[in-house]
Amino acid sequence: MILHTLISYEVLRLVWWLLLGVLLVGFAVMDGFDLGAGMLLPFAGRNDLERRVIINSVGPVWEGNQVWLILGGGAIFAAWPQLYAVSFSGFYIAMFAILVALILRPVAFKFRGKRDEPAWRARWDWALFIGGFVPALIFGVAMGNVLRGVPFRFNPDMHIFYDGTFFGLLNPFALLCGLVSVAMLAMHGAAWLQLKTQGPVAQRARAYGSVAAAATIVLYALAGFALWKFVDGFRVTSALPADGPSNPLLKTVEVHSSAWFANYEAHPWLYVVPGLGLAGALVALLGLRMRAELMTFVASALSIAGIILSVGVSMFPFILPSTIDPRASLTVFDSSSSHLTLFIMLVVTAIFIPIIVAYTSWVYAVLRGKVDAAAISEDRGHAY
């Protein structure tokens, strides 16, 4: 098979680095609003009917939204196997906690309505809260640790060893990033509830969403300051061939206090990316106060995109630095799968991503409009 030679190894690596960012943003935007709605469920809904309205606003779509999580995990596994190995072994307990929380969601959706007892339904409401809060927090903590670097190394046979502990991941900077993630997704959930509900639920969503949007702005700016002032970055000090072998140990790396801002200094236009994170949250805040439903949701989604993409822009070409052996740090150009594998995956992605987008668009078009509380109260056989 010679078709893969039409696209260079360097281009394929860059394309898959960009696609990884797209998939992460897709997951955060599409699944983020139902995680955020889950976090707001015990607060925006004050009685059983109001909480059923919130649940039914996300119930028909949350499973489809998780396709983006599967795509992201699959892309990491196939395109960046070493990144997958370090992440899913070093972050094993954290990943397990996320899976437990995510499993709670479908169980809560199905079992909440099995009994009419208030205590029974309240317990499942808090299960939905946990199913939204825990993944949001841990994904943010993981992102903070990626920026700080992770304690892993290679032996001469290229076996990966992770020398950290779970509690070592719970450092102040990572926890701050976790709070950014929680605030960001709570803002997005509120934007969704404003779009899909009405009456007291939408009113409370606007109130809580305004607080979350303001918190997103403050916490993200604080995280940026902490990254500049207290977190060391990494930079490559030797040749790093863009089409070289996937062997991280062939380069030299040094730790430098301002390395994560070097890309912005070299290309000032890149400040548009973190600026989008701040501006989007600010517009979402204004949209919540003005009751501009669609504008708020779009602005919230753009804020999420800016915040997540700013991590990739800051770290490029690194995708996972090592704190105990900087030379072992993984970069875009030395930790990917083979040229042929990346090409085959790109062909498959080019076929299936448009299908997924088209199907998702059709589903949301069919389900457009607000959730009707009266219809839910009358339809006990089909509504959640």
pLDDT, one tens digit per residue, over 251-269 is: 999 999 889 999 999 999 9
pLDDT at 258: 87
- Tell me, yes or no, whether 104 lies in a domain: yes
pLDDT at 4: 62
Q: Which domain holds residue 122?
A: 3-378
- Tell me, yes or no, whether 132 lies in a domain: yes
Residues in the chain: 384
- Tell me, yes or no, whether 153 lies in a domain: yes
**CA dist., res. 227 & res. 246, Å (int):** 29
Q: 32 versus 72: which is more confidently predicted?
A: 32
Give the CATH number for residue 207.
1.20.1630.10
**CA dist., res. 262 & res. 233, Å (int):** 9
pLDDT at 369: 87
- Tell me, yes or no, whether 88 lies in a domain: yes
Is it the case that residue 71 has pLDDT exceeding 60?
yes
- Tell me, yes or no, whether 383 lies in a domain: no
Of the listed ranges 139-143, 222-226, 247-251, the least confidently predicted one is 247-251
pLDDT band at 156; cut points 50, 70, 90: confident
Of the listed ranges 89-93, 125-129, 131-135, 212-216, the least confidently predicted one is 89-93
Number of domains into which the chain is organized: 1
Of the listed ranges 19-28, 159-168, 294-303, the least confidently predicted one is 159-168
What is the distance in angstroms between the CA of the first residue and the CA of the last residue of the chain?
Answer: 51
Is it the case that residue 379 has pLDDT exceeding 70?
no
Are the C-beta atoms of residues 309 and 273 closer than 8 Å to each other?
yes
pTM confidence score: 0.94
Neighbours of 92 (CB within 10 A): 12
pLDDT at 100: 92
Is it the case that residue 1 has pLDDT exceeding 70?
no
pLDDT band at 6; cut points 50, 70, 90: confident
271-287 pLDDT tens trace = 999 999 999 999 999 99
- Tell me, yes or no, whether 384 lies in a domain: no
Q: What is the DSSP letter of 370?
A: P
pLDDT band at 307; cut points 50, 70, 90: very high
Beta partners for residue 154, in sequence order: 160
Averaged confidence pLDDT in the chain: 91
